[in-house]
Amino acid sequence: MLHSDSAAPWWADAAVYQVYIRSFADGDGDGVGDLAGLRARIPYLAELGVDAIWINPWYPSPQADGGYDVADFRDIEPAYGTLAEADLLIAEAHAAGLRVILDIVPNHTSDQHAWFQAALAGDAAARARYLFRPGKGEHGELPPTNWKSVFGGPAWTRLVHPDGTPGEWYLHLFAPAQPDLDWENAEVRAEFEEILRFWFDRGVDGFRVDVAHGLVKDQSFADADGPMGLLRNDHTHPAWDNDGVHEIYRGWRRVADSYDPPRIFVAEAWVSGNERLARYLRPDELHTAFQFDFLGVPFSAAAMAPVVDSARDAVAVAGGTTTWVLSNHDVVRHVTRYARSQPEHYIDSAWDRRRWADEKADLDLGVRRARAATLFVLALPGTVYLYQGEELGLPEVEEIPDEARRDPVFQMSTDGDVGRDGCRIPLPWGGDGAASGFSPAGAHAAPWLPQPAGWERFSVTAQEDDPASVLSLYRAALRLRRTYLRGATDFAWVHRSDDVVAFRVGPVEVWTNTGGSPVPLPAGEVLLASAGGAPDGFLPGAATAWLHRS
């Protein structure tokens, strides 16, 4: 049953599990995750103790960017299943007590989308839904602006007419196969509200909004050299965080609020600073926005505590709730991020990947730190998003043959970045199936990204009966979170120093030691600890403990 027993809305303290569907579970043996696989794992997710799932784009797509190139927003990718199966999935998830959040991709479509195809065929109304511009230079041979694509290379591609003559340029902040929509166009705005209704009518509980800060471009289309990184954007660049986006979200909120129960949004908004982020969270806009700092904050008490303050300040401005995340499908998995020396600065994933050759990962240390960081964020008030496989302690897969890599970042990067495939490797479930249980026994195809040898050791079957496993830690933590922390918002720091940080929420006091030596703990029943090995009354290095303080 769906929980709605407290005054706070369900999402305010939910644990949401991110399903990267292509890599989650393969039901039909073609090496690609699908709806059948996901439906079969609903009992696993319910038992894990999460409240909702967020499913990455599952729409028909040529997969130029892992489904973020959507060809049809009202259907299901045939390799994943059918709309009828999606309806069953939503009903089955709800029956198991899980809400369902989808991913909406409003900044761009696939170049195979009917609108873009019509634009290419010369339909003026279709063309007006995208950002076509004449080139600069005597013959229009230069792009309209000097903007760079987030993945690398220019953000404009020039069309070639069927007779071979060059035409106008179109904008794509991401891959050339992802043309940007023109959100000044009323038809674009109306279409997306209809798409929201299409899925809300089917019972979907909310949407994660892809590139929420990018829809509206500064109409000056001026040259700009500002950063175009995937994960750090600057509102001084004319492509990002223009004030015009907020009117769009006010409209979306009206749509979401017209449903009973109201539907919700979580924004992917890479903006600079809390004040800019808080604008997305105003009461008539989006309910939540990912707080992304923990995706790159080094494992250090001195660095982690200010992130908590800053995120809480941001939502306080707007009266919202915080939304924590340690990993997702765009960044190096946190076991591996923590497995190397921790710099003073934010660990940008592209930077992290470039140092792999120079410094070997210590995965035992990475797991130990990951366990500690998990207990730290799971106790913070707010929503928490868990990325599939983190509950198994999966590391990033660093060694992938070049020919097997699928992320457009690998192809387009101009600085040797190998891209994001290493955090998207198909999950090991264990049992008799192929690819450590990702595919059923007798599968007729290998997994779409190769799984390293020996991944059975991370599988669910290898971990579920082991009380010391990462999976057991997640299960215990999510259960205790429901018992002691649900609805608690009374956060207060108890201790802060370079290596040790402690806070209190409800009846729980959380102590994290990011240093190397044991530190004394206050008196109190230890509800859960990420690591043992220290004398009684002490917290070992790289560990977190939850204490019950009445």
Q: By C-alpha distance, which of 309, 186, 320, 188 is closest to 265?
A: 320
Q: Which residues contact 33 (CB under 8 A, 6 or more apart)?
A: 20, 21, 22, 23, 24, 25, 26, 80, 426, 438
Judged by beta carbon, residue 63 or residue 145, the one nearer ligand NOJ is 63
Q: Is 268 a catalytic residue?
A: yes
Residue 493 token pair: 């720091």
Dihedral sign (CA 108, 114, 117, 118) = negative
DSSP-based three-state secondary structure for 304? helix
Judged by beta carbon, residue 28 or residue 180, the one nearer ligand NOJ is 180
User: Minimum distance between the CB of residue 89 and ligand NOJ, rounded to whole angstroms?
Assistant: 21
Q: Is 465 a catalytic residue?
A: no
**Does 111 interact with ligand NOJ (rule: CB under 6 A)?**
no
Which residue in 26, 111, 241, 268 is the catalytic one? Answer: 268
Which residue in 210, 234, 330, 407 is the catalytic one? Answer: 210
User: Minimum distance between the CB of residue 179 and ligand NOJ, rounded to whole angstroms?
Assistant: 12
**Does 421 interact with ligand NOJ (rule: CB under 6 A)?**
no
- Nearest residue (beta carbon) to ligand NOJ: 68
Judged by beta carbon, residue 68 or residue 252, the one nearer ligand NOJ is 68
User: Minimum distance between the CB of residue 105 and ligand NOJ, rounded to whole angstroms?
Assistant: 6
User: Minimum distance between the CB of residue 57 and ligand NOJ, rounded to whole angstroms?
Assistant: 8
**Does 13 interact with ligand NOJ (rule: CB under 6 A)?**
no
Q: Which of 181, 211, 305, 470 binds ligand NOJ (CB under 6 A)?
A: 211
Dihedral Cα 33, 35, 39, 40, nearest 10 deg: -40
Q: Which of 17, 59, 174, 429 binds ligand NOJ (CB under 6 A)?
A: 174
User: How big is the chain by its Cα radius of gyration, in Å?
Assistant: 23
User: Minimum distance between the CB of residue 252 and ligand NOJ, rounded to whole angstroms?
Assistant: 18
Q: Are 64 and 175 in contact (CB under 8 A)?
A: yes
User: Minimum distance between the CB of residue 269 and ligand NOJ, rounded to whole angstroms?
Assistant: 11
Q: Kindly give the pairing relationship between strand 538-539 and strand 264-267.
A: unpaired
From edge to edge, which strands make up the β-sheet containing 132-133?
Answer: 132-133, 166-171, 156-160
DSSP secondary structure letter of residue 527: E
- H/E stretch holding 101 reads strand 99-104
Residues 442-481 close enough to bind ligand NOJ by CB under 6 A: none
Judged by beta carbon, residue 13 or residue 330, the one nearer ligand NOJ is 330
Judged by beta carbon, residue 333 or residue 475, the one nearer ligand NOJ is 333
Residues of 11-27 as b/e, b for ≥16 C-beta within 10 angstroms?
Answer: bbbbbbbbbbbbbbbbb
Binding-residue pattern over the window 43 to 72 for ligand NOJ, x denoting contact by CB under 6 A? ----------------------x--x----
**Does 210 interact with ligand NOJ (rule: CB under 6 A)?**
yes
Residue 491 exposure: Cα atoms within 13 Å on the Cβ side: 18
Q: Which residues are at the interface with ligand NOJ (CB under 6 A)?
A: 65, 68, 105, 174, 210-211, 268, 329-330
Q: Which residues are catalytic?
A: 210, 268
